[in-house]
Structure 1
Amino acid sequence: MSLVLHRWIKLTLINLLIVAAIGVALRYKIAYSLPIVNQKHLLHGHSHFAFAGWISQAIMTLLVAYLAKQKGESILKKYRWLLYANVVTAYGMLVTFPFEGYGLFSITFSTLSIFVSYAFAIQYWKDLNTLETRYISHYWFKTALFCNVFSSLGAFSLAAMMAAKISHQNWFLAAEYFYLHFQYNGWFFFSCMGLIVAKLFNSSSPVILKRIYLLFAAAIIPAYFLSALWMDIPLWVYILVVLSAVAQIAGWGYMLALIKNKALSLNPLLTSTTKQLLTLSAIALSIKLLLQLGSTIPSLSTLTFGFRPIVIGYLHLVLLGVITIFILGYMFASGLISLNKKTGIGITIFVSGIIINELFLMVQGVTALNYFNVPYINEALLAAAVTMFTGLLLLNIGQKK
């Protein structure tokens, strides 16, 4: 691994640590008094930096690393300024959102972040087309790039409604969920699937891999309405939504069967730490897909979207349980993270914090259905946030050398 790439990986891990630190502050604000912090503004900074500074920055770096492996490390110079630009816009949002919420400077940085994603998508798409060998993983990458660009329609719709002072709540939610869906179910998920397919299967099983890709690709647009079932949608759209949920489960089932059939040949490629992380990510994804299918039942959909703890728990399941754990597992598998005693302890503590956090959020969500407040639940969630931060701090210290 080149020194340049190593530095970018270290930066993404530092960004993840910052995300966790803000998470601790947010949980402390809920459990105790912290008057100097505007909860809503800090939450915006937390979410925007988590998307741009951690996940998008990590994915961009890993995609560039894949390209460097195919074309040589000289390609890193071409993407250096795009990676720098994404970091600058991410830190701009981190600094401005907590102080002004949606204001001139924060909106400027978030808009520039979208334009950086456009430039990255165009450049990466062109470079993929120059590769002599076309793998199935490239379909995943291109769909991910498309979803990243497409998601910005939701962000610009929100901006337009705010500028026009339109206060229709359903329209706001529809635009917000549009952006979120094509980010975490599109850009994040398809990038991760492309990376794991490239890592394990690029030279084998083209038929079944193409089938898996087509099932997920066909479902991505109608699956948006899984996040918008509270709207009054036509029956034919609802049928497409159900079919998209089934298609994703079918595609994931094919993927699990493929991994099982090739388990013996995959064992030498993965360390025990990598296997454990990828297994946890796979379990989280399985839960997520089953929850999606369950949400197509109208009565369940009304309940889930009506209670904030359930929505937060679902988002954390996807962003932490599926995406973050996968990215860390992939970094371990690719030798991009040093595996030592501190790193091992750190990743164990961090993953434990994620599991504890999800369990507490689940308890909070289920009891909220009965309008019951669990004693000390906010303190427990703060403890989970501190646990995740502690694990990431050890993980970062383990990379110092």
Structure 2
Amino acid sequence: MDNISSHIKPYFKGKNPIIKLSQSWMKWAFFFFFAASIFGVLMRYFFVGEVPIFTYKHLLHAHSHLALLGWGYMLIMGYYVFNFCIDPKRISIYKWMLFLNVAAGLGMMFSFPVQGYGTISIFFSSIQLFSSYYFAGQILKDLRSQGQHSWARMVRFSIYWMLLSTLGLLAIGPVGAILGKNHPLYYMSVQWFLHLQLSGWFTYSVFGILMHFLFNKGKNIHLLPYQEWILHLSVLMTYALSVSWSTPISLLIPTNSIGVILQSIAYFWIMKPIIQAIFPGMKFPSGWEERLLYVGILSLIAKALVMALLVVPEIAHISITIRLFVVGFIHLVMLGTLTLNLGAVMQLQGWLPRNQWSKKSWFILVLGFISSEVLIFTQGLMLWTEFGFMPHYYLIVFIASLLFPIALVIIQLTCFHQSFKTSKIYKSNQIHQTSNQHMKSSTILSWGVGVFLLASCGGGGNESEGTYTPPSSNTEKTADPKGIGEIKTVDISAGIDETMANKGKAIVDMKCTACHQLNDKRIVGPGFQGITNRRRPEWIMNMITNVDVMLEEDPVAQALLEECLTRMPNQNISIGDSRDILEFMRKNDLEKTGSSDAAVK
């Protein structure tokens, strides 16, 4: 690859007013990235030790909202603003957009860990949601001057997908009020948002930005209309896999397979010319910024290969059965495909600081990304092949996750320390003073919002959960202690069948431990400890094999769903396998509590 660094466009010469905005914008984006990483580290520690005050679900909501709506959203929109806003008179619009996004981000950062989904967290999430509509309209207006190049269309469609994804968020309230939070349509709405964010908004933005980057170097990537529409169609069709997580319908997996084939073809059309233009022959570059982009491109290739594997129905099913694969894929998109590609491009264009400390911090970030991805996918494969857990897995992945906040602290304290003033592109004293004033107002905003939230959120408590009782719960039902399903009676012996228990443990390790602990600690779902002393064996096996009907009709299962707010997926576990799982649960209870089967005595 010819020297990319020498192709930096003179965006920063003179008194371009966009410079006055870029420093504050990127500082806040990285701040929310840091906050999301802290919440992620705390979530990892839940599997290692005790985390006082916080609950896992609340931290999960805080982590995901700040990662998607704080870091990812601000990083992409920052690139769009810095590159496509060419009218100085319109800068004030984006200054207000930054103000709203910082206020919303800080609000979510303080409220979600305390109350999860509640009045305050929903209020600030709504601020971010509705401000994104206005923001999208303004960016689309600026894009009118960019013509109808393929990169411009890709950028426009990334915004369209972002807007379409929010329909899922808008549907959650009405669906929950009318059908209840345990209805499959409720989870389909959530999955609609997540799928279009990852496969539409984030992926299209990476394609568009890489194509725009090459366009500025005189290398235009041209796509035919039918190629673009095949990509659009594939995004919609692959949503079928997300739907199958909560609603197992026979046609969903074949629909996903067709969508995966179309997506693979479209990815090939887009990625081949991009890779040939940036890294001919995939030759490893010499500059560290180019190497960062190289890892980002490899992540994009890995994402495409992972998606291509989902054409096989068995692999598609296991991808949503083993939660580690889901987590690993989301991180591959957010950290590898999005963060590394856009981070490298913004480094090469001069929108991010370029110095030795920046080089070190990005190296630590990449190390954390690669090590955690290797650990997560390796452990997922071990569970799939029934090899169990690698020794000290949770501790090792926790240590690997610590690299993210370490890298981001270095970026905040060193890379941004001199406010870009040592860079040749920031020589104007007037620009430096204006940037300081803007940062001052942002700092005052953060303290103001922080004090307000600490005062209003103090104490937390279950009363702020914003729970909802579905219509089906208004009339009291008598719970059958055996549950609902094919299992009417279960013969259990006084002792433990070790062969069955070992088989059950292998299944639990593969399909259950990402959401359930073997102790009494709640992660996503309740801990398994003591379950045979609380529930009859028929109920346990029916919950495993007939989960959809149980969640719809069994009052006990519905109460658990209302408590956990996460729908248990249908794992298609056979009756024989469920009996093995029951035997393992009996053994687990006997070892941890000293007794089992109290529910039938």
Distance in 1, matches of 2:134 and 2:287, equals 37
Distance in 1, matches of 2:53 and 2:275, equals 52
User: Does residue 77 of structure 2 align to residue 60 of structure 1?
Assistant: yes
User: Does residue 192 of structure 2 align to residue 178 of structure 1?
Assistant: yes
Q: 1:296 to 1:166 in 2, by over 3 A?
A: farther
User: Does residue 326 of structure 2 align to residue 326 of structure 1?
Assistant: no
User: Does residue 240 of structure 2 align to residue 225 of structure 1?
Assistant: yes
The match for 1:157 is: 171
For these two proteins, the number of residue pairs brought into alignment is: 395
User: Does residue 354 of structure 2 align to residue 342 of structure 1?
Assistant: no
C-alpha distance after superposition, 1:168-208 (max 9, x if no partner):
35333322211001112111121222122111126554544
The match for 1:95 is: 110
Residue 382 of structure 1 deviates from its aligned partner by: 0.9
C-alpha distance after superposition, 1:122-144 (max 9, x if no partner):
22222322x16443222112211
The match for 1:360 is: 375
Q: 1:207 to 1:354 in 2, by over 3 A?
A: closer
Residue 229 of structure 1 deviates from its aligned partner by: 4.0
Q: Structure 2 residue aligned with 1:246, among 261, 272, 275?
A: 261
Residue 5 of structure 1 deviates from its aligned partner by: 1.3
Query: Is the deviation greater in 59-68 or in 218-227?
Result: 218-227
Query: Is the deviation greater in 289-298 or in 349-358?
Result: 289-298
C-alpha distance after superposition, 1:18-52 (max 9, x if no partner):
22122222212221111221111011011101111
The match for 1:118 is: 133
The match for 1:18 is: 35
Residue 240 of structure 1 deviates from its aligned partner by: 4.9
C-alpha distance after superposition, 1:231-268 (max 9, x if no partner):
44464x65553343223322332334323543589x9x
User: Does residue 401 of structure 2 align to residue 385 of structure 1?
Assistant: yes
The aligned amino acid for 1:306 is T
User: Does residue 155 of structure 2 align to residue 141 of structure 1?
Assistant: yes
Distance in 1, matches of 2:374 and 2:277, equals 32
Instruction: Tell me the secondary structure at the aligned position of residue 400 of structure 1.
Output: coil
**Is the contact made by 1:41 and 1:100 (CA closer than 8 Å) also made in structure 2?**
yes
The aligned amino acid for 2:272 is A
**Is the contact made by 1:12 and 1:54 (CA closer than 8 Å) also made in structure 2?**
yes
The match for 1:199 is: 213
**Is the contact made by 1:249 and 1:289 (CA closer than 8 Å) also made in structure 2?**
yes
**Is the contact made by 1:219 and 1:248 (CA closer than 8 Å) also made in structure 2?**
yes
**Is the contact made by 1:219 and 1:245 (CA closer than 8 Å) also made in structure 2?**
yes
**Is the contact made by 2:214 and 2:220 (CA closer than 8 Å) also made in structure 1?**
no
**Is the contact made by 1:284 and 1:322 (CA closer than 8 Å) also made in structure 2?**
yes
Residue 222 of structure 1 deviates from its aligned partner by: 1.6
The match for 2:44 is: 27
Q: 1:309 to 1:197 in 2, by over 3 A?
A: same
Q: Which runs of 5+ in 2 are unaligned?
A: 1-11, 13-18, 419-601
The aligned amino acid for 1:383 is I
The aligned amino acid for 1:368 is L
Q: Structure 1 residue aligned with 2:321, among 299, 302, 306?
A: 306
Distance in 1, matches of 2:132 and 2:194, equals 15
Distance in 2, matches of 1:91 and 1:338, equals 24
Residue 75 of structure 1 deviates from its aligned partner by: 2.9
Residue 81 of structure 1 deviates from its aligned partner by: 0.9
**Is the contact made by 1:226 and 1:296 (CA closer than 8 Å) also made in structure 2?**
no
Residue 317 of structure 1 deviates from its aligned partner by: 1.3
Q: 1:227 to 1:74 in 2, by over 3 A?
A: same
Distance in 1, matches of 2:174 and 2:203, equals 28
**Is the contact made by 1:140 and 1:193 (CA closer than 8 Å) also made in structure 2?**
yes
Residue 310 of structure 1 deviates from its aligned partner by: 1.7
Distance in 1, matches of 2:287 and 2:226, equals 29
Distance in 1, matches of 2:33 and 2:278, equals 31
Distance in 2, matches of 1:294 and 1:132, equals 36
C-alpha distance after superposition, 1:108-166 (max 9, x if no partner):
2112221111111122222322x164432221122111111111121122222333461
**TM-score, normalising length: structure 2:** 0.61
Q: Which runs of 5+ in 1 are unaligned?
A: none
**Is the contact made by 2:328 and 2:376 (CA closer than 8 Å) also made in structure 1?**
yes
The aligned amino acid for 1:163 is A
Residue 346 of structure 1 deviates from its aligned partner by: 0.8
**Is the contact made by 2:33 and 2:67 (CA closer than 8 Å) also made in structure 1?**
yes
Task: Find the structure with the greater CA-based Rg.
Answer: 2
Distance in 2, matches of 1:165 and 1:124, equals 37
Structure-to-structure mapping, 1:205-220, within 5 angstroms: 205=220, 207-208=222-223, 213-220=228-235
The aligned amino acid for 2:389 is N
Q: Structure 2 residue aligned with 1:189, among 198, 203, 221?
A: 203
Distance in 1, matches of 2:98 and 2:286, equals 29
Distance in 2, matches of 1:207 and 1:284, equals 23
Q: Percent identity?
A: 25
**TM-score, normalising length: structure 1:** 0.90
Q: 1:151 to 1:276 in 2, by over 3 A?
A: same
Q: 1:274 to 1:251 in 2, by over 3 A?
A: farther
Instruction: Tell me the secondary structure at the aligned position of residue 228 of structure 1.
Output: helix
Q: 1:261 to 1:23 in 2, by over 3 A?
A: closer
Instruction: Tell me the secondary structure at the aligned position of residue 46 of structure 2.
Output: helix
The match for 1:40 is: 57
Distance in 2, matches of 1:275 and 1:67, equals 23
Instruction: Tell me the secondary structure at the aligned position of residue 402 of structure 2.
Output: helix
Residue 58 of structure 1 deviates from its aligned partner by: 1.4
Instruction: Tell me the secondary structure at the aligned position of residue 188 of structure 1.
Output: helix
Residue 387 of structure 1 deviates from its aligned partner by: 1.3
C-alpha distance after superposition, 1:296-341 (max 9, x if no partner):
3222222221122221111111111111112211211211111111
Distance in 1, matches of 2:362 and 2:146, equals 38
Residue 220 of structure 1 deviates from its aligned partner by: 2.1
Distance in 2, matches of 1:209 and 1:75, equals 33
